Structure 1
């Protein structure tokens, strides 16, 4: 059934150092207990944190009630290596992916994929669909389908994707920045949709009009998939400028000046207020949900979620503060699969 609420989701980073594993996991648990609609788990530049990412996905799946989206990138692997990784994740119960081209290795400005590799995220979307069909008997972009009792992706259902695929595949979209012209971005987004993408998540932006204009332009060229705004809590001035250097999305002078205070509590308060104002504007122009880039900091993300809950935006699986989901997402998936099996017999 299509969702009736804007979704709220959080992006997580796998720990970069083993000694941080438990500290970061406790933050993840605090975010999970608040009941977001899903987590996405990053993959690291050039796939460098693949094993750490897979372990965090596995732990989210096994120990929380929140569906995890596993990031994948074309860079750093051959087609068969990527296919094997998708097979492994599917076998572990993962049903949601984010397909990215990925950043080239440092110093390789003229990057090219290895022999047998992939160069575009649309190719990765198609590969995931091929492995989905092979492993689960689910739909592929060419319309083929084998009989399957697999239930549809929880994430696809929560986003109102209709019909919801057994495996959901998300892709990136770019409202602003120097990496894409608007014309090239729209062509790439349509290509990813045609390859089998279910929804898109945007890169960071600071102006709701940038998001609104991207959605308007995308609809004009036949892109119909939901486009989730990706928003970073505006609480860390240094991080915002580092992101600006990476993405080419300038930090507005008003936000920069707002955060230029020495008192940490006051800076946090101002940053949260500015974040909530941006969120209110993107929801006003019709955003189907919000994807927060947490950088593994739970407090700003939870402050934003509290604001949204105060506005009545609530995950249907959370009623009056009590979780009605199964204890883990794995249990929730097993229950859905059992119900699907019963309907087909």
Structure 2
């Protein structure tokens, strides 16, 4: 259940792919942090290529900004105990917010197969995070839990009751091979396992988002569903995402961005993004999660537009301190 009084604005980040990019990525991250988003989410290399970099970026955000980071986790390439150890390490670093994903098949494999001794569904990963949470912070009523602040992410989203830890999951408005019925069953399963809210994968039609939420509510899914919005400024990236997600780029959008002048293409892309955002907010979206690909300028342009429309500035909010590391017992 959500009691949010304002739409949230959050950004997804990628850890640097190469060490020489660390400081350039961090400079852009600081620009975005300075704008006061409600939270960051930090992607996680399912094949292992960026797990260490992802964890380091999360720790750096905790140390040097007041924007809470959501740490991504996937089921790919790890046993259940290895995943539990990663969750414990993130708790020890001070992380209180997670995004639990099944993950895509490892590179070179066409179909998903659970690793030996591993998990096969994101709902199982949600349950594992909740289990480790109870080990580290104690069960409900434990003094260790009572001494902790509720998750800032949960507070900002108006999740009631707001717990010390939040767990997010993915939702899919369009473009998948499975049916809407399968998607709703999976979303209900993730909610029942302990998920607090969902973030959608990319979509281009506000009606796809609105129909997903309506169908979810009819099916007993009550958690907030944040629309994941990609700034529509990079035509090549849109087509690359189409290959990965099977969500087709609309012909009209593709034609709109097919111009030589870079500034004109950027202007058109931002206008198209803002039009999509206006439509999802009009149908009741609780906030916006922007897939930035570490590009600060489009994300900040979008945020400036939203604030011009009266959305409150998260940077002006007095936040409780982010909890420090809690040792496992």
TM-score after normalising by structure 1: 0.90
Q: Quick check: 1:273 aligned with 2:271? A: yes
8 Å CA contact 1:172, 1:202 repeated in 2: yes
**Local SS of the residue matching 1:193:** helix
8 Å CA contact 1:27, 1:298 repeated in 2: yes
Matches of 2:126 and 2:51 in 1, distance apart? Answer: 18
Match of 2:112 in 1: 111
Matches of 1:74 and 1:93 in 2, distance apart? Answer: 22
Matches within 5 A, 1:307-322: 307-318=305-316
Residue 316 (structure 1) shift:
4.4
Choose from 142, 146, 156 the match for 1:146.
Answer: 142
Per-residue Cα deviation, 1:265-285 (whole angstroms, up to 9, x for no partner): 000000000000000000000
Match of 2:175 in 1: 177
Match of 1:231 in 2: 229
8 Å CA contact 2:171, 2:187 repeated in 1: yes
Matches of 1:55 and 1:317 in 2, distance apart? Answer: 24
Per-residue Cα deviation, 1:103-140 (whole angstroms, up to 9, x for no partner): 1112222432222200000000000000000000145x
Choose from 196, 217, 220 the match for 1:219.
Answer: 217
Match of 1:264 in 2: 262
Residue 152 (structure 1) shift:
1.1
Q: Quick check: 1:57 aligned with 2:55? A: no
Structure with the bigger RCO (C-alpha within 8 Å, sep 6+) is: 2
Match of 2:98 in 1: 97
From the superposition, tell whether residues 117 and 195 of structure 1 become closer, same or farther in structure 2 (CA, over 3 Å). same
Match of 2:322 in 1: 333
Matches within 5 A, 1:1-345: 2-139=3-140, 146-147=142-143, 148=145, 149-318=147-316, 324-325=318-319, 332-334=321-323
Task: Give unmatched runs, 5+ long, in structure 2.
Answer: none
8 Å CA contact 1:318, 1:325 repeated in 2: no
Matches of 1:220 and 1:66 in 2, distance apart? Answer: 34
Matches of 2:28 and 2:46 in 1, distance apart? Answer: 23
Deviation larger for 117-126 or 246-255? 246-255
From the superposition, tell whether residues 283 and 298 of structure 1 become closer, same or farther in structure 2 (CA, over 3 Å). same
Deviation larger for 278-287 or 41-50? 41-50
**Local SS of the residue matching 1:111:** coil
Task: Give unmatched runs, 5+ long, in structure 1.
Answer: 140-144, 327-331, 338-345
Residue 76 (structure 1) shift:
1.2
Residue 46 (structure 1) shift:
2.8
From the superposition, tell whether residues 179 and 49 of structure 1 become closer, same or farther in structure 2 (CA, over 3 Å). farther
**Local SS of the residue matching 2:47:** helix
**Local SS of the residue matching 2:322:** helix
Per-residue Cα deviation, 1:141-172 (whole angstroms, up to 9, x for no partner): xxxx5342222111011101100121100000
8 Å CA contact 1:2, 1:162 repeated in 2: yes
Residue 318 (structure 1) shift:
1.6
Runs (4 or more) in structure 1 with deviation over 6 Å come to none
Residue 325 (structure 1) shift:
4.7
Deviation larger for 106-115 or 9-18? 106-115
From the superposition, tell whether residues 334 and 90 of structure 1 become closer, same or farther in structure 2 (CA, over 3 Å). closer
Matches of 2:75 and 2:91 in 1, distance apart? Answer: 18
Matches of 2:175 and 2:248 in 1, distance apart? Answer: 8
Per-residue Cα deviation, 1:63-94 (whole angstroms, up to 9, x for no partner): 01100000000001111111011101101110
Matches of 1:334 and 1:120 in 2, distance apart? Answer: 29
**Local SS of the residue matching 2:184:** helix
8 Å CA contact 1:46, 1:103 repeated in 2: no
8 Å CA contact 1:174, 1:180 repeated in 2: no
